[in-house]
Amino acid sequence: MGGFRRGCKNVRFLMALLVLIASAGTAARAQNLRLGATYRDHVIVADRSVPLLDGEWTVVAVEESRSSKGSGDIEQVYLAQMAGNRLSRWIHIATNEEWSSGGWGRNKHVCDRKDVHAGYSDSSNKPQDSECWILNHVGQTLGKNPPQASIDFYRWSDSRGRPNMALALSYYLEKRGDFVRADYYFNPVVAGFRDTGGAGWRGSPWHADIASKDERKLAYLRELKATGEELFGRLKGIVK
């Protein structure tokens, strides 16, 4: 009987130890991505090294939440750069913390699109094995049911010159139950262009059908495309 009680105590001790270890891991991740932290070259998000563009980047919003698919926790972070008192570039990264046996599904907002300025989509069309990127113009609105990290970023950037329309390099990579979604945003106002009057996508002056008639915009888009290709090379293999 004494051995049974000792066995129960050992089991309870091991369970408490496992909970403590898991809590410590979660706290360590949150600490690594604390608000105001600065990074260069890359940032670690859920143990994945995500490349950054040149210069220093500051964490301005962080969130860890349960996936809407019930497939584990998702970690999200926004990092930003300023040009004086105006928001210049920012990055939104989302990735899973827990492996999902059912996968996450091919992201149709990035993969297989033809109505964008540039990009690449793998030809396999496998729902659990994707490598895609696009260059697109993106209206700066929160949309429906935004994650808390996006809400926090919009509040932070409301008074920092966030444009109505940004140019974005968007990436989606998934392999065998893990994924990374990374969006690198550029403020065209900082590059010398006038901001758009609204955030609508189809009628935007940055729509491919309209921007293709403007040599300055075409040159800017070619620069972003070159950056997008270079980033894709750095991101490939981030999920294994």
109: tokens are 């907002």
DSSP string, the chain: -HHHHHHHHHHHHHHHHHHHHHHHHHHHHHHHT-TT-EESSEEEETTEEEE--SS-EEEEEEEEEE-TTSSSEEEEEEEEEEETTEEEEEEEEEEESS--TT-----TTTTT--SSSEEEE-SS-BTTEEEEEEEEEEE----SS--HHHHHHHHHHTTTT--SEEEEEEEEEEETTEEEEEEEEE-TTTTTPPPPSS--STT-TTSHHHHTT-HHHHHHHHHHHHHHHHHHHHHTTS--
Same domain for 85 and 120, yes or no, is yes
Same domain for 58 and 126, yes or no, is yes
> For residue range 77-112, what is the model confidence (pLDDT) as tens digits?
999 999 999 999 999 999 998 766 666 677 888 988
Q: Indicate whether 240 belongs to any domain.
A: no
Please count the structural domains in the chain.
2
Same domain for 147 and 133, yes or no, is yes
185: tokens are 């945003």
What's the pLDDT at 107? 81
Please check the confidence at residue 219 and state whether its pLDDT lies above 70.
Answer: yes
**Residue with more model confidence, 107 or 141:** 141
> For residue range 20-33, what is the model confidence (pLDDT) as tens digits?
333 334 333 444 68
Same domain for 6 and 97, yes or no, is no
Separation between Cα atoms, residue 72 and residue 90, nearest integer Å: 26
What's the pLDDT at 193? 97
**Residue with more model confidence, 146 or 70:** 146
Same domain for 219 and 170, yes or no, is yes
Same domain for 7 and 124, yes or no, is no
Same domain for 28 and 121, yes or no, is no
Please check the confidence at residue 221 and state whether its pLDDT lies above 70.
Answer: yes
43: tokens are 């940032």
Question: What pTM, to 2 d.p., does this model score?
Answer: 0.84
Q: Indicate whether 154 belongs to any domain.
A: yes
> For residue range 150-196, what is the model confidence (pLDDT) as tens digits?
999 999 999 999 999 999 999 999 987 889 999 999 999 999 999 99
Same domain for 82 and 16, yes or no, is no
- Whole domain around residue 20: which residue ranges? 1-32
Same domain for 51 and 145, yes or no, is yes
Same domain for 118 and 210, yes or no, is yes
